[in-house]
Amino acid sequence: MLCQLRGTVDDSKLPGIPQGPMPFNLSWRASIRYYSTSLQGSKLFPVKELTTHDILLQSRFIYQPAAGLVHWLPLGLRTYRKLQAVIRKRMDQAGGLEMELSSLSSKNLWEKTKRWDNNELFKFKDSKYRDYCLVPTCEEEITNLIGDLCSSYKDLPLLTYQIARKYRDELRPRGGLLRGREFLMKDAYSFDLTKEDALRSFDNVNEAYRKIFEDLKLPVTVANADSGSIGGDLSLEYHLIHKSGEDVLFECNSCQTVSNVEKCQSLPEKGFKGAKEAECQYFINKDRNTLIIMYYPKGRTLTPRYIMDEIPDIDFSIDEEMALAMFKNESEESSSFLVKEIIRVIDPRVTSNTNMPDLKVLYHRNSMFTFTDIPIVEAVAGERCYECEKGTLSEHTAIEVGHTFYLDKKYSSPLDCTVVNEKNESTIVYMGCYGIGVSRLIAAIAQTGRDEVGLTWPQIIAPYQITLLSNKTSNEENLDVVAELLSSFDLQVDGRDGKFSMGHKLKQSKVAGIPLQIIVGKHFPLIEIEVRSPIQHSQELKDLYKRKTWDWEIQESPQTAGCSEKHLVHLTGLAQVVDLLLKCL
């Protein structure tokens, strides 16, 4: 297929091919209409039974050389680049300065933030026995860099970001892209002089995220989240709701608050009389002089951190048996100066109707305190929202695709990232960090958008907007005319000869999720358009159709797999109709 392969279709549309001032000779664009089928493969396969990951593999978006690793093939790379461009645009608008940090990071920085002892870090030594890791995120490196390069409040606020590979020695890599060992992440970091500024930066990036998902026409759910190991005390997650998701969210039908299960507190449903049986767990505080006993309904999952606001000094590293031993020990040995306290935390589902377990320690009534109004178990669907105390919680499974954190001084303090303020005093900066899992997002979009015929993509990130096909009765010149007419779109021409039937070529294009299949055939100069996904006609399209300036028929709900509607349009109006259809997608 030499003659057909030398050159590619109009790749000037690909992000990465610069436009504008660069001196481009465009003659190569129009002259080449064929694309390489070599790496797109030519076999049809039974899509219906396949996992989304397998469709991505079989339709050759990606190749998987080993568990959790991915090679991006030409088709997948186009989607991957276009998604990067969508993100880049909104991060730039938000004032983000793009950079690219090294994938290697030295041990010393990670020791300062106490993150070196992490089993999921890929670690290795160089030939001089120095230790490195492959970066899972870049808080250490960027904080160190900004601390080095910026010295004054005049350099702030600062928002930096990159779209770069990250690494995690994931024990159970899943689906290649969803949970990979090497993955593409957009990570951003904000640096501010004051907490208020930092919170404004946090809002600014969350607003950019909103626009990114709007550009992608994705129904994203924003959830309150627990900050986990990244740290900080304000954190939002971005999710695509889907039955295959691994995250659990709760949504209130009254105040609309959505929270990750790890962050969601709930009250018992109205009229609940109390659990039948309670169980309890014992904790001790850091000073070893207070025993904390948490009572909760038997069988529910205890979430002791919900009590942290009231009792911030619980030592979670001490287990129950040890806690009891320490408390008893302390009680015996210590002098009477020491007040020995017991704090009981009783989940609101535990009431006077509930059978309580026996206490394992002796106590004086005077030294016992009780909290009864703080929920300390994971929510379940149907319970009442703790935020508004009115609505009912419903449960969703979801795929997490983004996460934003307000970090406060968690990294800037140990890494000594300071600037001088207006009074020339050295002050530690306030940070935020913000991630979007780019490769994961592609997998999530593929997963939530696929149907029985194959993939469907938001047109802004489809590998091509159009596949142009011709059947045997068509001649080369007609195909040329149409390709030229549509040259402003991101188009591939399936120029494979008679060995593949029209049906075969159409199916391949639909499996790959190309939004429009355009067929040059025997009705020329009437051209057939198949629309891959269901669309809502815009007013503009409806108006134009009514005017009937040229031949144009719409066949709604045709009985064709992977085709929501067909158009038969005269050449004269083709480009305009295609443009309007793409805008509806």
Query: What is the crossing angle of helices 539-547 and 571-584, to 10°?
Result: 160
Q: Which residues, including other chains, have CB under 8 Å from residue 398's CB and lie 6 or more apart?
A: 221, 223, 239, 240, 241, 242, 245, 247, 248, 249
Residue of 55, 70, 280, 445 interacting with a second copy (CB under 8 A): 70
Scanning residues 470 to 489, which ones bind a second copy (CB under 8 A)?
488-489
Residue of 30, 97, 325, 388 interacting with a second copy (CB under 8 A): 97
Scanning residues 267 to 286, which ones bind a second copy (CB under 8 A)?
none
- Should residue 116 be labelled a site residue for a second copy when binding is judged by CB under 8 A? no
Least distance to a second copy from the beta carbon of 528, Å? 21
- Should residue 66 be labelled a site residue for a second copy when binding is judged by CB under 8 A? yes
Residue of 30, 51, 154, 484 interacting with a second copy (CB under 8 A): 154
Beta carbon nearer to a second copy, 18 or 271: 18
- CA–CA gap between residue 206 and residue 242 (Å, rounded): 22
- Should residue 538 be labelled a site residue for a second copy when binding is judged by CB under 8 A? no
Residues in binding contact with a second copy, number by CB under 8 A? 93
Site string for a second copy, 158-197 (x = CB under 8 A): xxx----x-x-x-x---------xx--------------x
Residue of 119, 317, 336, 536 interacting with a second copy (CB under 8 A): 119
Residue of 45, 116, 122, 363 interacting with a second copy (CB under 8 A): 122
Q: Which stretch binds a second copy (CB under 8 A): 94-102, 252-260, 271-279, 410-418?
A: 94-102
CA distances 352 to 276, 293, 367, Å, are: 10, 17, 21
Both tokens of 329, joined, read: 């020990």
- Should residue 26 be labelled a site residue for a second copy when binding is judged by CB under 8 A? no
- Should residue 129 be labelled a site residue for a second copy when binding is judged by CB under 8 A? no
Residue of 47, 56, 156, 275 interacting with a second copy (CB under 8 A): 156
Q: Backbone phi, then psi, for 335, in 5-degree steps?
A: -75, 170
Beta carbon nearer to a second copy, 121 or 293: 121
- Should residue 117 be labelled a site residue for a second copy when binding is judged by CB under 8 A? no
Both tokens of 253, joined, read: 């039908």
DSSP element (H, E) containing 416: none
- CA–CA gap between residue 545 and residue 549 (Å, rounded): 8
Scanning residues 33 to 62, which ones bind a second copy (CB under 8 A)?
36, 38-39, 41, 60
- Should residue 74 be labelled a site residue for a second copy when binding is judged by CB under 8 A? yes
Q: Which stretch binds a second copy (CB under 8 A): 140-148, 228-236, 259-267, 468-476?
A: 140-148
Least distance to a second copy from the beta carbon of 442, Å? 13
Q: Say if CB 250 and CB 384 are below 8 A apart.
A: no
Q: Which of 359, 100, 405 is nearest to 228 (CA)?
A: 405
Both tokens of 250, joined, read: 């709760």
Q: Which of 232, 314, 302 is nearest to 262 (CA)?
A: 302
Q: Which stretch binds a second copy (CB under 8 A): 122-130, 282-290, 342-350, 383-391?
A: 122-130
Q: Which of 204, 210, 234 is nearest to 222 (CA)?
A: 210
Torsion of CA 365, 370, 376, 377, to 10 degrees: 50
Residue of 45, 50, 54, 84 interacting with a second copy (CB under 8 A): 84
Least distance to a second copy from the beta carbon of 170, Å? 9
- CA–CA gap between residue 161 and residue 435 (Å, rounded): 9
- Should residue 69 be labelled a site residue for a second copy when binding is judged by CB under 8 A? yes
Q: Which stretch binds a second copy (CB under 8 A): 2-10, 349-357, 446-454, 468-476?
A: 2-10
Scanning residues 298 to 357, which ones bind a second copy (CB under 8 A)?
none
- Should residue 149 be labelled a site residue for a second copy when binding is judged by CB under 8 A? yes
Q: Running DSSP on this structure, what letter comes out for residue 174?
A: B
Least distance to a second copy from the beta carbon of 79, Å? 12
DSSP structure string for 294-362: EEEETTSPB-GGGGTTT-TTB-TTS-HHHHHHHHHHHHHHS-TTSPPEEEEEE-TT--TTSBPPPPSS-
Q: Say if CB 180 and CB 439 are below 8 A apart.
A: yes
Residue of 98, 207, 269, 543 interacting with a second copy (CB under 8 A): 98
Q: Which stretch binds a second copy (CB under 8 A): 71-79, 226-234, 298-306, 378-386?
A: 71-79
CA distances 238 to 210, 224, 401, Å, are: 9, 9, 6
- Should residue 420 be labelled a site residue for a second copy when binding is judged by CB under 8 A? no
- Should residue 501 be labelled a site residue for a second copy when binding is judged by CB under 8 A? no
Q: Running DSSP on this structure, what letter comes out for residue 17?
A: S
Scanning residues 452 to 471, which ones bind a second copy (CB under 8 A)?
460, 465
- CA–CA gap between residue 317 and residue 78 (Å, rounded): 48
Antiparallel, parallel or unpaired: β 234-241 and 384-385: unpaired
Both tokens of 448, joined, read: 């939530």
Cα atoms in the Cβ-side hemisphere of radius 13 Å centred on 488: 7
Length of the chain: 585
Beta carbon nearer to a second copy, 215 or 551: 215
Q: Say if CB 198 and CB 363 are below 8 A apart.
A: no
Decide: residue 411, CB within 10 A, 0-12 exposed, 13-18 middle, 19+ buried: buried
- Should residue 582 be labelled a site residue for a second copy when binding is judged by CB under 8 A? yes
Residue of 111, 155, 226, 551 interacting with a second copy (CB under 8 A): 155
Beta carbon nearer to a second copy, 126 or 484: 126
DSSP element (H, E) containing 535: none
- Should residue 535 be labelled a site residue for a second copy when binding is judged by CB under 8 A? no
- CA–CA gap between residue 138 and residue 150 (Å, rounded): 17
Q: Which of 220, 191, 224, 225 is nearest to 205 (CA)?
A: 191
Site string for a second copy, 215-244 (x = CB under 8 A): x-----------------------------
Least distance to a second copy from the beta carbon of 19, Å? 4
Decide: residue 424, CB within 10 A, 0-12 exposed, 13-18 middle, 19+ buried: exposed
- Should residue 127 be labelled a site residue for a second copy when binding is judged by CB under 8 A? yes
Beta carbon nearer to a second copy, 15 or 525: 15
Q: Which stretch binds a second copy (CB under 8 A): 77-85, 239-247, 328-336, 427-435?
A: 77-85
